Structure 1
Amino acid sequence: MELAGPAAILTLRDFVRPLMELMTSLPQNEKVILVGHSYGGFCISLAMESFPEKVEVAVYVAAFMPRPKIPPALLLQEFLREIKLEASMNQKYTIDHNHDRGETDDYMAEKLYQNCPPEDLELAKMLPRPVKMFMEDLADESLLTEERFGSVERIFVVCGDDKLMEADFQRRMIDRSPPKAVKLIEEADHVAMLSKPHELCQCFEDIAKNCS
C-alpha cells in the first residue's frame, strides 16, 4: 500500500498534491496515462475527477478502484475487514499493522513480496513506515462524480498471486464497475513492478499502443 510521508502530510489533499501539481502543469492539449498501484488507485481517481480532459486512460494495478457517488472509504473499509483490520478515522498503521520488526519482515515476505527477488525483499525490509489511511477524507461521497471521473476510460491489471489484495477482491471491484479492459498477470504478487516487471511493462506498452 502507499505509505504516508512526512508529518506535514495531514490530509489526502496534501498526499496527492504532487500529482495534482503535475496535472496542472500539463499543456492544455496534452493527455497522460495515469497508473495507480494499491492505495494509489484513490490518488489517480482524484486526478481523474479534477482533470478528466487530461487523462487518456487510467490503469489500476491491483489498486483500489472506487465508484462515483459512493464514498471511497467504504471500499477501503471492506478491504480492511477482509484482512481482519478495523480502521478508525485517520488511524495510522505500520506496514503490517504490528510494531515487532520480526513480524513485519515475515508479513512482507508472505503477503507483499513473496514472488520478488530476495534482494528486493531485503531492501523493502529497511523501508517500512507508518501508513496513513485518510479515512475521514475518503468518507466524502462527493469526491468522485460520474460526469468527470466516470468519463475517463479505465483498465485494471489483476495481480493473480496477490496475497494482500487477493484476486477475488480485485475481481469484485471489476464486477461492480467494469473497466474498458482487464489484464491478468497470473504470478504477480502485490508488488508486480518487482515480481513481474517485464510482464507489467508489456501491459503498459500494449495500453499505450492502443491509445496512440
Structure 2
Amino acid sequence: MGGSKHIVLVHGACLGGWSWFKVATPLRAAGYRVDTPDLAASGVDPRPLREVPTFRDYTAPLLDLLAALPAGDRVVLVGHSLGGVSVALAAELFPDKVAAAVFLCAFMPDCAARPSHVLEKFVEGKWLDWMDTEMKPQDAEGKLPTSMLFGPRILREKFFQLCSPEDINLASSLMRVSSMFMEDLAAQQPFTEGGYGSVRRVYVVCSEDYGIVEGFQRWMVENSPVEEVKEIAADHLVMLSRPKDLAQCLADIADKYA
C-alpha cells in the first residue's frame, strides 16, 4: 500500500493533467497520494500560450506545488515526454523535496550542457518525422516561443498507435497549442550537480514508442546515467495504452525510493 507516499505526475507538451486519469485512479486506490497538475497554458489552465513566454513560466504550477509542500515532505516526480525537462527544472530548484525523478519516455537533460541540448539533438538527428505537426511563430519579433500543435496523423501513427480509438478521440479533443520552448531553454545555464544532479533518477523506457523512439531514450541514459532503467512494451502514450503496467511500475519505484 502506498501509505503516505506522494507521486506527482507531470504531463508532456499539448497534453494536460487529464492524460494521467487511468494511472492516477489505481495509484490513489492503492493508498498513494497523487497530484496531476496542469502546467501553464495546458489542460484546464486558462492562460493562452502567448502569456507563457518562458519555460519556467510554463512549469510554474509544478514549482508552486513543490514550494507549498510542508517541510520534510518529499515526492516522486514523474515526467512524461517534454515533462521530463519540467521535472529536471523542479529537481534543480527543490532537490531536497524530490525523493526520485522518473523520466517516462521523456527528454532527460544532463548537467554538462544547456537544458535545450537533448531537444536539439532530437530535432537535429531527425529522430521523428513531424508529419502534420504545426509549428509557427507567435510574434513577428520572435520574442515568444514557437508554438506547436500535433496533427491527427502524427497522433495516430507516432504517439497513440497502441491506444484505443476512444482514447485517441478524447486526446484529440483536449489537445492544446504548446511549445518546446527551445529558444528559452537554449539561453539557460546547465542544471547543477548540487541541484538536479543530486537527485536520484529512474528512466522508464517505452520500447514501442514511435515518438521519442527507444534508441533515443537509451542514448539519453548513456549520456547521463541513472540509478535504474525499467522498460514497458508501450507506445508514447503509455499512460493510456498500458495504464496497469505503468501504475505498477510507478508504485514499485515509489516504494523503493520514497
**TM-score normalized by the length of structure 2:** 0.74
Task: Tell me the matched-pair count.
Answer: 203
Percent of aligned positions that are identical: 41
The answer on 1:173 being equivalent to 2:220 is: yes
Q: 1:176 to 1:87 in 2, by over 3 A?
A: farther
Q: Secondary structure at the match of 1:63?
A: coil
Q: Look up the equivalent residue of 2:13 and give its one-letter code.
A: E
* Residues 140-155 of structure 1: pairs in structure 2 closer than 5 A: 140-155=187-202
Contact kept? 1:69, 1:141, Cα under 8 Å:
no
In 2, Cα distance between the equivalents of 1:62 and 1:164?
A: 9
Match of 1:71 in 2: 114
Q: Look up the equivalent residue of 2:251 and give its one-letter code.
A: E
Q: Look up the equivalent residue of 1:2 and give its one-letter code.
A: A
Q: Look up the equivalent residue of 2:165 and give its one-letter code.
A: P
Match of 1:196 in 2: 242
In 2, Cα distance between the equivalents of 1:137 and 1:147?
A: 22
Q: 1:87 to 1:60 in 2, by over 3 A?
A: farther
Q: Look up the equivalent residue of 1:190 and give its one-letter code.
A: H
Task: Give unpaired runs (5+ residues) of structure 1.
Answer: 96-103
Q: 1:78 to 1:87 in 2, by over 3 A?
A: farther
Contact kept? 2:78, 2:102, Cα under 8 Å:
yes
Match of 2:229 in 1: 182
Match of 2:174 in 1: 127
Deviations 1:107-127 (A, max 9, x none): 211111100111001112223
Q: Look up the equivalent residue of 1:34 and give its one-letter code.
A: L
Deviations 1:153-208 (A, max 9, x none): 0000001100010000000000111110000002x100110011011001111111
Q: Secondary structure at the match of 2:51?
A: coil
Q: Look up the equivalent residue of 1:23 and give its one-letter code.
A: L
In 1, Cα distance between the equivalents of 2:123 and 2:146?
A: 12
> Cα RMSD between the aligned structures?
1.9
Q: Look up the equivalent residue of 2:242 and give its one-letter code.
A: K
The answer on 1:112 being equivalent to 2:159 is: yes
The answer on 1:50 being equivalent to 2:93 is: yes
The answer on 1:61 being equivalent to 2:108 is: no
Match of 2:149 in 1: 94
The answer on 1:35 being equivalent to 2:78 is: yes
Q: Look up the equivalent residue of 2:92 and give its one-letter code.
A: E
Quick check: 5-14 or 34-43, which moved more?
Answer: 5-14
Contact kept? 1:70, 1:141, Cα under 8 Å:
no
Q: Secondary structure at the match of 2:72?
A: coil
